[in-house]
Amino acid sequence: RKEVEQDPGPFNVPEGATVAFNCTYSNSASQSFFWYRQDCRKEPKLLMSVYSSGNEDGRFTAQLNRASQYISLLIRDSKLSDSATYLCVENLNTDKLIFGTGTRLQVFP
């Protein structure tokens, strides 16, 4: 079993839609998680850190469910510019980041 698993998608949604991604992790001792965004042929960029109480930043909300070992990312009012690959990331407390394969989002007009 992979350490971090994501649905690769693609998720094709119209502008204005709400879309949610889930990600499961296998290491119950992991303390922190992140969502990174990666545009085609670019480097990953930090989108959000994921705290136990959830984290909201504008149209983006991330939540952590330790009991079920999954994290989620919710994007409201999708914009064309949200089209990208969203990488779920687990931090094993040593700054070694474990990435999922990414979920591709395509927002269409």
**Residue from 102, 87, 109, 107 nearest 9 by CA:** 102
Is there binding between residue 55 and another protein (CB under 8 A)? no
Residues 65-94 that bind another protein (CB under 8 A): 87, 91, 93-94
Q: How far is the CB of 95 from another protein (least distance, A)?
A: 5
Is there binding between residue 1 and another protein (CB under 8 A)? no
Task: Number of residues interacting with another protein: please give it, by CB under 8 A.
Answer: 22
The runs of H, that is alpha helices, within the chain are: none
* Two structure tokens written together for 101: 């394969």
- Give the residue, chosen from 45, 59, 66, 79, that forms a contact with another protein under the rule CB under 8 A: 45
Q: Are 102 and 7 in contact (CB under 8 A)?
A: no
